[in-house]
């Protein structure tokens, strides 16, 4: 096309391009002789960090609370995850909207405009979002899932801090994400699949490498970062354990040289470790002097050494043959006259936990509650119960106190979210308990629930809502059970769950039909003086021998609704 237009001036522009892509552009446009102008890829104001993908929702909420009110983008791989995370953020008090190709175009436009006009703070998006977004004050970009390539990662993180001020780039990383992305490539051609695999490998190296993140990114785009410590990435701020890697780097360079500089990372690792796979056998590389010299270390160690040898530019990529490595001029000088090289150990993501997929609250301390606080809460409960002339369990049951001693709720809303509490109980009994927890948190400098509890979107069961509405209308319990195809036992369990969560239910209209006043008073008297509300204990009491389990359960609901809720 350019040829047909005649001898016209041509300029080719790109935002990001690796050395390979730069050469491809020049070749394809027949511009080999053209002047090439490349500005630095170094975005000095950006902070890069990679965290293991465990308790990710909790980590994300805590991160966003630290940056409340700031503009940010959260990238996810799937539309489903985008919707899920956007909803999670809104429930937890953030102004967030989703953005992906599956939304109606008017919804996408509105969400984008709301973000640009600061009506919302956060966009949760697939990579469909961001092209042409020139919002200067995006303060953070979070990758909830691993991107498909370093180039994509660089472009997406580059949307933060365009005004030259703070820009935080946080990525959650797990091997599981890489496996998912590998599966996406299964229908591609062999060559495309191999290219995609190499891009994912680069992403893996970046995430797990202990080397300065900025140095790695700039190296990927063919630029050398001269400083030893950028001071603005997790690997520089929190350096990994270092060791003398002079001998290992020398072995990597020898393996590269002895194999003819025609192979990639995995083959070099096998040669150094003495692994006889089909390639080693077909090229007879088991006869090389270097073969098996590094068999005391595992494959991951050698991959890390080769990667660091590349980043420190003793090795370089063969641009003409993707994946192949060759020795650089710096590497040849080093082989002739070795000097001390310090390497660092990779991050270990093999012990990572599976990301929590449920939206349930995540306790701060999953092993146990705070014994000291629990005992103080029990003492207070006893005092309150005595003052009100009620059994302690009516105030709050032990499981509720245990959760309080785990999540440290310090506001009415947080206390109401504790299992078995609810706002009714908070208003009735909560004031002194909140004061105690607040004082305890302050004295012991403890993270509060608001910082660590992930609230899930409330999924009120339709059955529960139906039951509450029917009881309000004084519908016979058997009719309610029939309407929802429940047994009476199952209905009672549902009603108990509603009651235990702090909702007041008035079952007098039904109980008065099945129990006379004297029987009700006897059971009431029992629960007023009992140490617990256990039905098993109640039925084991001789005085209750005339009552059925159903009658005891119904009266417990009446008792707790009147005194506890």
DSSP reduced 3-state for 195: helix
Residue intervals of the chain classified under CATH 1.10.10.10 are 246-340
Question: Does domain 46-237 fall into CATH 3.40.50.300?
Answer: yes
Report the candidate in 226, 219, 73 with the shortest Cα–Cα distance to residue 140: 73
Task: Tell me how far CA of residue 479 lies from CA of 37, 53, 272, 327, in angstroms.
Answer: 80, 49, 76, 82
Instruction: Single out the residue of 250, 271, 249 nearest to residue 260, CA to CA.
Output: 271
Strands 242-244 and 342-344: antiparallel
- The answer to whether residue 132 scores a pLDDT higher than 60 is no
The confidence score (pLDDT) of residue 452 equals: 52
User: 377-387: per-residue pLDDT in tens?
Assistant: 999 999 998 89
Q: Find the mean pLDDT for residues 273-291.
A: 93
Is residue 13 left, alpha or beta, with left meaning phi > 0 and alpha meaning psi from -120 to 50?
A: beta
Q: 363 pLDDT band (50/70/90 cuts)?
A: very low
What residues does CATH 1.10.10.1390 cover in the chain?
Answer: 462-563
Whole-prediction pTM: 0.64
Query: Does residue 406 register a pLDDT over 90?
Result: no
Is 52 in a helix, a strand, or coil? strand
> What is the dotted CATH code of the domain comprising 462-563?
1.10.10.1390
Radius of gyration of the chain (CA): 32
Tokens linked to 520 = 């009700």
Q: Tell me, which fold does domain 246-340 have in CATH? A: Arc Repressor Mutant, subunit A (1.10.10)
* Token pair belonging to 353: 């936990």
Residue 122, both tokens: 């956060």
Residue 335 is inside which H or E element, if any? helix 329-336
Q: Is 93 left (phi over 0), alpha (psi -120 to 50) or beta?
A: left
Grade residue 332 by pLDDT with cuts at 50, 70 and 90: very high
- Find the helix or strand (DSSP H, E) in which 238 lies: none
* CATH architecture for the domain at 371-452: Orthogonal Bundle (1.10)
Extract the runs of DSSP E, i.e. beta strands, from 196-350.
Answer: 242-244, 315-317, 325-327, 342-344
More confident of the two residues 74 and 320 = 74
Q: Write out the residue limits of the CATH 1.10.150.80 domain(s) in the chain.
A: 371-452
Residues comprising the chain, all counted: 565
More confident site: 332 or 359:
332
Instruction: Check residue 215 and give left, alpha or beta (phi > 0: left; psi -120 to 50: alpha).
Output: alpha
Are the C-beta atoms of 342 and 245 separated by less than 8 Å? yes
User: pLDDT by residue (tens digit) across 14-27?
Assistant: 888 888 889 999 99
What are the start and end residues of each CATH 3.40.50.300 domain in the chain?
46-237
What is the residue-wise DSSP string for 512-549?
HHHS-HHHHHHHHHHHHH-SS--HHHHHHSGGGTTS-H
Q: Which helix (H) or strand (E) holds 455?
A: none
Task: Point out which residues pair with 27 in neighbouring strands.
Answer: none
Residue among 65, 223, 214, 42 at smallest CA distance from 140: 65
Please write the tens of the pLDDT for every residue from 418-469.
Answer: 877 878 788 888 899 999 999 988 888 776 655 555 655 544 567 888 888 8
Of residues 137 and 396, more confidence is placed in 137
Instruction: Compute the Cα dihedral for 472, 476, 481, 482 and give only its sign.
Output: negative
């Amino acid at each position: 096309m350019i040829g047909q237009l005649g001898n016209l001036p041509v300029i080719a522009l790109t935002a990001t391009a690796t050395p390979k892509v730069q050469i491809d552009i020049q070749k394809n446009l027949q511009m080999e002789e053209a002047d090439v102008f490349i500005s630095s890829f170094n975005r000095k104001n950006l902070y890069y960090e990679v965290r293991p993908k465990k308790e990710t929702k909790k980590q994300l909420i805590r991160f966003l609370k630290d940056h409340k009110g700031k503009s940010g983008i959260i990238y996810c791989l799937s539309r489903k995850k985008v919707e899920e995370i956007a909803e999670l953020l809104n429930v937890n008090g953030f102004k967030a909207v989703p953005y992906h190709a599956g939304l109606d175009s008017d919804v996408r436009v509105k969400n984008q405009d709301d973000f640009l006009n600061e009506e919302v703070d956060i966009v949760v998006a697939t990579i469909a979002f961001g092209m042409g977004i020139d919002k200067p004050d995006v303060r953070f970009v979070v990758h909830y899932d691993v991107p498909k390539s370093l180039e994509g990662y660089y472009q997406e993180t580059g949307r933060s801090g365009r005004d030259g001020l703070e820009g935080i780039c946080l990525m959650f990383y797990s091997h599981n994400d890489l496996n998912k992305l590998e599966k996406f490539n299964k229908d591609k051609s062999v060559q495309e699949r191999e290219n995609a695999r190499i891009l994912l490998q680069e992403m893996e190296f970046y995430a797990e490498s202990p080397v300065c993140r900025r140095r790695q990114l700039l190296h990927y785009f063919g630029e050398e970062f001269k400083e030893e410590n950028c001071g603005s990435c997790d690997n520089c701020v929190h350096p990994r354990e270092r060791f003398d890697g002079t001998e290992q780097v020398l072995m990597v360079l020898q393996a590269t040289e002895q194999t003819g500089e025609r192979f990639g990372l995995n083959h070099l690792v096998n040669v150094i470790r003495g692994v006889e796979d089909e390639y080693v056998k077909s090229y007879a590389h088991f006869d090389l002097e270097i073969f098996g010299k590094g068999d005391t270390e595992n494959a991951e160690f050698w991959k890390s050494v080769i990667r660091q040898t590349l980043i420190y530019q003793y090795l370089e990529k063969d641009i003409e043959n993707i994946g192949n490595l060759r020795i650089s001029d710096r590497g040849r000088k080093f082989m002739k006259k070795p000097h001390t090289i310090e390497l660092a150990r990779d991050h270990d993501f093999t012990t990572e936990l599976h990301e929590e997929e449920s939206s349930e609250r995540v306790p701060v301390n999953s092993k146990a509650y705070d014994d000291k606080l629990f005992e103080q809460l029990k003492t207070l409960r006893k005092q309150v119960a005595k003052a009100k002339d009620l059994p302690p369990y009516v105030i709050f049951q032990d499981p509720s106190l245990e959760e309080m001693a785990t999540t440290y709720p310090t506001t009415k809303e947080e206390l109401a979210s504790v299992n078995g509490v609810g706002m009714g109980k908070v208003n009735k009994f909560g004031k002194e308990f909140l004061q105690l927890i607040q004082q305890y948190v302050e004295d012991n400098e403890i993270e509060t629930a608001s910082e660590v509890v992930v609230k899930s979107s409330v999924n009120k069961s339709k059955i529960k809502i139906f039951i509450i509405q029917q009881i309000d209308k004084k519908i016979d319990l058997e009719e309610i059970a029939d309407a929802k195809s429940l047994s009476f036992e199952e209905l009672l369990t549902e009603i108990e769950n509603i009651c235990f969560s702090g909702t007041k239910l008035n079952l007098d209209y039904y109980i008065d039909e099945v129990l006379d006043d004297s029987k009700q008073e006897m059971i009431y008297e029992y629960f007023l003086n009992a140490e617990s509300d256990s039905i098993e204990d109640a039925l084991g009491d001789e005085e209750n021998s005339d009552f059925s389990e159903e009658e005891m359960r119904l009266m417990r609901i009446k008792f707790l609704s009147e005194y506890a809720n």
